[in-house]
Structure 1
């Protein structure tokens, strides 16, 4: 009688047979890569060089290696391992577990294992997915744990146990996950492109230093931006409050994280350390490390509190969404650096507030501020939606990997 463990929880229609269980080394040929040394003497720009496959050539999303950044001289071939389209390679270091399918000829160094499906037991896409499942990763970790450097070798990988169905069922599973990976890759690319668009527009929709007109702006606005002192846009507030009086702690807002008062009180062990009250649309600045982006506008909560280590400002004649976009620009870090002094270490700087308030800042009329702020708010919402969809797809993949495999 077949054991239940050889039947996955979820299957494609038409498949009912139990999966076969085998020692992995009996189903494929496994070989370790090799490196000609010193490798620097073999690197070449010649067109007849051999593709030299490094971990950096592997895509963040997807399973196919399609190009390499470097080539080696043909003379190095005898000291390395040649791979071909259709071969599967696996990292054998502590980052092991991520398999890749070769779409090009090349050579692998000793940080890779070659897995060649020469016994035709597997459909390639299925095998690639199988080797990255939790079951296989856990086996790798268990087997490598006793070694000094926790690295894999062909004996350890060959000694794992694999369960697999008929080729037709493998094809269904492999094709399904290939489509899912493509969908994940598309969303990742869209997310990256939208973030890059935001980064570009943050630079182009604000004037360069010493200028009054940005490179890109909405067509209904043509007036030059007005030069203002940064301090004229701010009204510092010092209203004290306590954990008991507020619902939300915003001290971590600069990191995009918000804690409720109960959690924060438990974490800090005190509910009365002189918190500052924060209203919606107030600007929160850190006294240290502003050049790292430690500033935010409270756009999310009607009220809250921050540690007295921060400064809180009402905005004067300045749209909150515009200020939020401005403080997130890369070039704004230079603005804050001009008013910083070195602290205890190179990476720690303290703000000279009086100097900061005197810094000139180009500002458009309120209507243009609002348009700019709304534009970047829409971009942020788009990014958040794409990131959520991407996270949902990745979670779906994890769930289906557990259900569609033994």
Structure 2
């Protein structure tokens, strides 16, 4: 950093500071270095036990404790809990080095494990709530946190107040906050759209597959309304499970993709972070699979991990490579059958109760299911795969918005090395 950006405690607001790469055209005044202690005071209001209890969530921010889906671990004595009001910023004192902070939008109480920052005159707290999520400030929070190891690090207000940051005028704070908040609103709307599609898919699968005790599904496509009841069979009559391990150190397996349970997303069927056997360093307990197989994770069945790779590879011993035994069962239908709620409930009920629950081969093949004709199987699978494609497309739009916001954040906030020209 050049001498132009150096500052002292007595001249911190008089010295030109770092400026961002991207600015709105109406703003030209340099950002000034200010201490966070001059921007925020430490709100220490306790004893107001009649206010609602709030929680700080990673994505949602400050929400009513009952909406957090977390177990209520709060103390029955709320006398030491801290009051927050709209416009405050609350942060997790033990996790600020990870950026655990949020803008407050409602009045209530937070745990004494939080620090409550009250904005001073000329401070747009929504601007700073975005600013506090930038890598450069999170690094500052880490540096000023006290403790020997990560699990003991804490950033109390006294240390927080000593951190110096470049700060623009209030109108520019407001403009940046409005810009980023508009992107947040778009992201929230897109996330709701993705969640709605996932909820619709879950409902649709419950209608397209017969429930326990029923002989046909509640919803059938018009062309199959008079096709008769589905035929009951055990899964063992319909599938084959690969046996015979392969050596991942030998060609062609050493260069093949290697999939373990950790590479399959729960409930979605998507594969993530797939590496070759050589890259993983796997040496034993592997089975070959190809594009005719469905991969089903036998450990922790409640996670519902099923994948249908379109390539050849090897999978670890925590995966069952399953394929249809004959033409009476389609691979595409088998994929959704293993993802269905009825099979999920069965797998959970019939898992071995150990430290890590798992469903063994005998329990898997004993599962009884109702099967329609291959034509109806194809119709069901095509419907669900089309919905999956739509979910994927909308999820990609959400990810694009996240990437756009990240890029904006990098441009709208200064980073070390960027000085005023």
Give the TM interval when normalised to the shorter protein: 0.7 to 0.9
Question: For the Cα contact (< 8 Å) 1:282–1:315, is it kept in 2?
Answer: no
Shift of 1:207: 0.5
Query: Which residue is equivalent to 1:45?
Result: none
Take 1:231 and 1:264, find their aligned partners in 2: how far apart are those partners? 30
| Equivalent position to 1:229, from 229, 234, 245 | 234
Find the residue that maps to 1:50 and give its secondary structure.
coil
Number of aligned positions between the proteins? 376
Per the TM alignment, residue 77 of structure 1 is displaced from its structure 2 partner at its CA by 9.0
1:341 Cα deviation after fit = 4.6
Q: Which residue of 1 aligns with 2:360?
A: 351
Matched, 1:331 2:350: no
| Counterparts in 2 of 1:269 and 1:328: CA distance versus 1, 3 Å | closer
Structure-2 separation of matches of 1:393 and 1:264: 34
**Distance in 1 separating the partners of 2:323 and 2:115:** 58
Name the structure where strand makes up a greater proportion of residues. Answer: 1
8 Å contact kept, 1:339–1:352:
no
Aligned twin of 2:293: 282
1:32–1:154 Cα contact (<8 Å) kept:
no
Q: Secondary structure at the match of 1:51?
A: coil
Label 1:139 to 1:202 Cα distance change in 2 as closer, same or farther (>3 A).
Answer: same
Q: Distance in 1 between matches of 2:36 and 2:145?
A: 16
372, 383, 389: which one pairs with 1:381?
A: 389
Deviations 1:367-397 (A, max 9, x none): 2211211122122222222333323322332
**Unaligned residue ranges in structure 2 (runs of 5+):** 6-15, 68-76, 265-270, 415-421
1:75-114 alpha-carbon deviations (Å, 9 max, x no partner): x997554333333323322256344333333333322222
Q: What is the aligned counterpart of 2:165 among 147, 162, 166?
A: 162
Correspondent of 2:115 among 88, 103, 113: 113
CA RMSD after TM alignment: 3.4
Corresponding residue of 1:363: 371
Report if aligned partners of 1:97, 1:131 keep a CA contact under 8 Å in 2.
yes
Is 1:18 matched up with 2:30?
yes
Deviation digits for residues 14-38 of structure 1 (CA, Å, limit 9, x no counterpart): 32221011111123322346468xx
Is 2:215 the partner of 1:212?
Answer: yes
Q: Which of residues 170, 176, 179 is equivalent to 2:179?
A: 176
The alpha-carbon deviation at position 68 of structure 1 amounts to 5.3
TM, length-normalised to structure 2: 0.77
Partner of 1:313: helix, strand, or coil?
Answer: strand
SS of corresponding position for 2:52: strand
The CA deviation string for residues 133-163 of structure 1, in whole angstroms up to 9 with x for no partner, is: 2222211111113478322221111111121
TM-score (norm 1): 0.79
Are the aligned partners of 1:248 and 1:258 in contact in 2 as well (CA < 8 Å)? no
List runs of 5+ in structure 1 lacking aligned partners: 37-41, 43-48, 71-75
1:187 to 187, 190, 193: 190
Distance 2:321 2:78 in 1: 63
CA separation of 1:77/1:346 partners in 2, compared to 1, >3 Å: closer, same or farther?
Answer: closer
